[in-house]
Structure 1
Amino acid sequence: MTDASRFLRGLDRVGGWATLLLPVFLVHFRGIAEGILDGLAIGFLMRSAVCRDWHWIRSYFVWPVFLWWGWIVLCSVPRAWPVMPDDVDAMIQALVALRFPVAAFALAFWTLQDPRTQARVRWIVTACVVYIGVQLLWQAVTGSNFFGTPRFGDGTLTGPYDKPRAAAPFSRLALPVALWAGACLALRARQRWLRATAFAMTLLPVLALLVLAGQRMALATFLLGVGVAAVLLPKLRYQALAVLALTPLFVTTIMVAAPGAFGHLVLKTEGQLRHFAGSDYGLIYNRALMMAQDHPLTGLGYDAYRHHCRDTVFQKAGTFAPVPDGGGERICVQHAHNHWLEAVSNGGVPGLVGFGLMIIAWGWALLAPLRGCAPLVTDPAERAWQAGLFAAFVMQEWPLASSSAFLNMPLGGVAFLLLGLGLCPVARNVLSSRATRA
């Protein structure tokens, strides 16, 4: 065995273990999860260099990433002298922004091509969903989670954390798991009624937990995801309608069972929608749009909102901001709370176009295993899993959704883990086509 062969064998072993550990550390210890994603990206690039195999870059769902990334790097080059610390930080963050997409490609083209690793990751993701769900339920019933943390001050559930940030990753992870479990249940059920209600039986517990959690955007995007999956899975459609129809009943129930969560889920949402322009979200969106309007070609570079929100030129009324100072410095948070506004404020209109092209390419690749006369995935349970991964992707990148930053941890890490899982079938097709030509 040559040195190169031994190196690749060891690298494959390390990559496999890193992949198995990634979902666990995305739930707890997100700093370690970020290091794992970085390691997967670096390991994949090293493997490609040793094997002199860069064909994956030519895939239609890969090269748009480099267009988006290259433009963001150019837009982040410091434009004034002397160079300020924020300019240096933006440049560094832009340069390393490629790591998460490459980590997803590492999962799809490398570590998850091993069927055993892929199956184990699916079960680990399922265990993570169960763990977060049990923590949410325990806190809803007893008033605190396993670590003694009570409900958040506004009545929402924190799950296994000290702040209410469990619902968003739970909704993304739980949808493909619930659809996969529902399909498996339907395939193995002997009773007709069980086959007819299998999806509803696995989706309704997730819905109930999201309602109890009181996080409106996680609930709304989950319902969106169920609708998207129903379009792709004919057997899900009537059950999806039942899930949607039962949602108001679930929400009404928590008015008595958890009035704090009801207030956050319904009353606060109603108030924000009625007075959106003056709400924090409206003011934040207005500030990001003003940055894009003032710099339509190049934007303001990576993390534009964080670095330039306090610039006095943007503290004024606008499309969504009736107040004279546009919210002042009160709305200067870490990001614009919308991936598409983040893209246009960072890189201008070209950055928005590049981001949109990248998202469309990923979505098309996630759909590829399910469409056409010869789909890559034919097993009903696998089709349900793939449909769930596509629906979770739509939930994450829906243009009207409020969200964390595109590369923010841990939700960004969850999204790229699911993206890597979803790209596996089409990546396998790319690899097999290349092997056939060789």
Structure 2
Amino acid sequence: MLAKRLALAAALILPICLLYARAGAEFAIAIIDIAFLVTSARTRNWAWARQPWFLIALAWWAAEMICSLPIPALGLGPGGWKSFAQAAVLIRLLLLPAALAGFVLDSPRNRWWFWLVIAASEAWILLECWQQETFGVNIFGDHRWADGSLTGPFWAPRAGPPYTHLLFLTALPIVAALIARRGTVPKLAAAALAIIGFATALIIGQRMPFLLAGLGLAVTALAFRPVRLPAIALGILVILAIPALKIVSPPSFDKLVGETSIQIRHFAKSPYGELYTRATVMIEHSPWHGYGFNGFLYFCPEPKFDAGLPAMGIGPTNLARGACNIHPHNFYLQAAIDAGLGGLVLFAALNLAWLLTLARGMLRQPMKLGAFIGVLTYAWPLASTDNFAVLPMAGWLFVMLGLGLAFDPARLQSGPPEPQSLYQHPNQALILTGAPP
């Protein structure tokens, strides 16, 4: 089928485009979505649209559009038609995981190749981080960022978030496959891979990605028994390695430990504290319908939001200290600013629905567990984030989500057996794709 072949080709280039070509990623997403909708219309198969998570997604999308619709008499859409248009095109991202799970990645072979491209993207970030750490520059001649963070294969400190979110999705299947083999060498290789993976998160020197990697490791230890003890041992090793970072990579240590301790002691007056205070004040001024999509960008500088939070002992915010930015650096504050408290509830429900859907059967499927951890670290509320709906980071979320949702338990039980010719060990059919060998 031509539509499916085009969608698969677009899906396989999508991770590469998310690294370097945002316009290319948007084009790939458009091809996948259009091919999916055309096929659904031709076959009259709309069962995917009745999934609980997708219905919640539609409700959240509708709330974003209603609150962005320019109706001054009702106080809606102060951002105008530009804000409404940006809210309207959110549907492209919500369709992507449905298209990947139910259309593009409906065969073991397609899932394998899609995962392989994602794994190659993660490996590229890892290699470039180590090149920059070892030789001072990445392949493009870019040095480490002024604050001590490694930029990896990018010109700015953007390596940490995608690396952390993809870490468990790409590493867990390999680690599980190696542990399933007999002998000492495969198990030592699994340990080496895990240590290198976490050492990379450590030397990158970005605080929140490193903490989220720790969250992922804790979930792995709780959820996946074959690696529970090694995961606990790795966590202890990572904690012990933090002081050694001062010798191995002083800039990373200064960023992770020194700057973090300063910001914690003076959080309210730090740039993040200023942002979160300002966002909270904005929500207090318009709790029911917010300001429409990208409302923080359009209205944050208004003087009426300088007030601070006196009830919490937090004084007025100051633009000079970084109280405004292009987004509030937290998905949940952003959801409330865009569409009020109702929008916040729907957004939180959507993230919970994704995680509950991914949780079904993940204990037997390392790749699905990795996708669950990737989405969890992305949706974790106590985090500094990018703009939720902007590529490339939003693209990585929906890529992980689509791959995880493709492991539908009913389809895997009733579908054809996995092609074992793709694997070097019989157990890997289960480990890499989630279906019986």
Question: Same-fold call, TM > 0.5?
Answer: yes
Identity %: 31
One-letter amino acid of the structure 2 residue matched with residue 175 of structure 1: F
2:392 to 383, 394, 410: 410
One-letter amino acid of the structure 2 residue matched with residue 244 of structure 1: G
Deviation at 1:163, TM superposition (A): 0.4
Give the corresponding residue for 2:85. Answer: 92
2:67 to 71, 75, 80: 75
Contact kept, 8 Å, 1:338 with 1:402, in 2: the verdict is yes
Matches within 5 A, 1:212-223: 212-223=203-214
One-letter amino acid of the structure 2 residue matched with residue 163 of structure 1: A
Give distance in 2, aligned partners of 1:408 and 1:427: 31
Give the corresponding residue for 2:261. Answer: 270
Where structure 2 has 5 or more consecutive residues not aligned to the other structure, the ranges are 416-437
Deviation at 1:121, TM superposition (A): 1.0
Give the corresponding residue for 1:374. Answer: none
Deviation at 1:167, TM superposition (A): 1.3
Give the corresponding residue for 1:375. Answer: none
One-letter amino acid of the structure 2 residue matched with residue 173 of structure 1: L
Contact kept, 8 Å, 2:164 with 2:213, in 1: the verdict is yes
Give the corresponding residue for 1:280. Answer: 271
Give distance in 2, aligned partners of 1:142 and 1:119: 34
2:332 to 333, 340, 361: 340
Give the corresponding residue for 2:42. Answer: 50
Deviation at 1:83, TM superposition (A): 11
Matches within 5 A, 1:11-410: 11-80=3-72, 86-191=79-184, 195=187, 199-318=190-309, 322-327=314-319, 330-370=322-362, 378=364, 383-410=365-392
SS of the equivalent of 1:392 reads: helix
Please give the TM-score of this superposition, normalised by the length of structure 1.
0.89
Alignment deviations for residues 261-307 of structure 1 (CA, whole Å, 9 cap, x no partner): 11111111111111111111111111111121111111111111111
One-letter amino acid of the structure 1 residue matched with residue 269 of structure 2: G
Give distance in 2, aligned partners of 1:56 and 1:427: 15
SS of the equivalent of 1:425 reads: coil
Contact kept, 8 Å, 2:317 with 2:323, in 1: the verdict is no
One-letter amino acid of the structure 1 residue matched with residue 339 of structure 2: G
Alignment deviations for residues 184-239 of structure 1 (CA, whole Å, 9 cap, x no partner): 11122323x854x6654322111111111101111100110111122110122211
Query: Judging changes above 3 Å, is the alpha-carbon distance between structure 1 residues 85 and 353 closer, same or farther for their aligned structure 2 residues?
Result: closer
Give distance in 1, aligned partners of 2:313 and 2:392: 31
Deviation at 1:253, TM superposition (A): 2.1
SS of the equivalent of 1:110 reads: helix
Contact kept, 8 Å, 1:282 with 1:321, in 2: the verdict is no
Deviation at 1:431, TM superposition (A): 11
Query: Judging changes above 3 Å, is the alpha-carbon distance between structure 1 residues 328 and 88 closer, same or farther for their aligned structure 2 residues?
Result: farther
Give distance in 2, aligned partners of 1:54 and 1:427: 19
Deviation at 1:427, TM superposition (A): 7.8
Contact kept, 8 Å, 1:44 with 1:110, in 2: the verdict is yes
Deviation at 1:80, TM superposition (A): 2.8
Query: Judging changes above 3 Å, is the alpha-carbon distance between structure 1 residues 250 and 30 closer, same or farther for their aligned structure 2 residues?
Result: farther
Deviation at 1:430, TM superposition (A): 10
SS of the equivalent of 1:331 reads: coil
Give distance in 2, aligned partners of 1:47 and 1:181: 34
Query: Judging changes above 3 Å, is the alpha-carbon distance between structure 1 residues 185 and 431 closer, same or farther for their aligned structure 2 residues?
Result: closer
Please give the TM-score of this superposition, normalised by the length of structure 2.
0.89
Give distance in 2, aligned partners of 1:187 and 1:432: 25
SS of the equivalent of 1:154 reads: coil
Query: Judging changes above 3 Å, is the alpha-carbon distance between structure 1 residues 341 and 85 closer, same or farther for their aligned structure 2 residues?
Result: closer
> RMSD between aligned alpha carbons?
2.3
Give distance in 1, aligned partners of 2:70 and 2:313: 30
Deviation at 1:316, TM superposition (A): 2.0
Give the corresponding residue for 2:434. Answer: none
Query: Judging changes above 3 Å, is the alpha-carbon distance between structure 1 residues 41 and 431 closer, same or farther for their aligned structure 2 residues?
Result: farther
Query: Judging changes above 3 Å, is the alpha-carbon distance between structure 1 residues 83 and 55 closer, same or farther for their aligned structure 2 residues?
Result: closer
Alignment deviations for residues 51-88 of structure 1 (CA, whole Å, 9 cap, x no partner): 22211111122111001101111011113389999422
Query: Judging changes above 3 Å, is the alpha-carbon distance between structure 1 residues 248 and 46 closer, same or farther for their aligned structure 2 residues?
Result: same
Give distance in 1, aligned partners of 2:96 and 2:31: 8
Between 73-82 and 242-251, the greater mean CA deviation after superposition: 73-82
Contact kept, 8 Å, 1:200 with 1:242, in 2: the verdict is no
One-letter amino acid of the structure 1 residue matched with residue 378 of structure 2: Q
Give distance in 1, aligned partners of 2:345 and 2:351: 10
One-letter amino acid of the structure 2 residue matched with residue 60 of structure 1: P
Query: Judging changes above 3 Å, is the alpha-carbon distance between structure 1 residues 431 and 99 closer, same or farther for their aligned structure 2 residues?
Result: farther
Give distance in 1, aligned partners of 2:222 and 2:406: 22
Query: Judging changes above 3 Å, is the alpha-carbon distance between structure 1 residues 291 and 428 closer, same or farther for their aligned structure 2 residues?
Result: farther
Contact kept, 8 Å, 2:78 with 2:292, in 1: the verdict is no
Deviation at 1:118, TM superposition (A): 1.0
One-letter amino acid of the structure 2 residue matched with residue 399 of structure 1: P
Give distance in 1, aligned partners of 2:45 and 2:299: 41
Query: Judging changes above 3 Å, is the alpha-carbon distance between structure 1 residues 329 and 207 closer, same or farther for their aligned structure 2 residues?
Result: closer
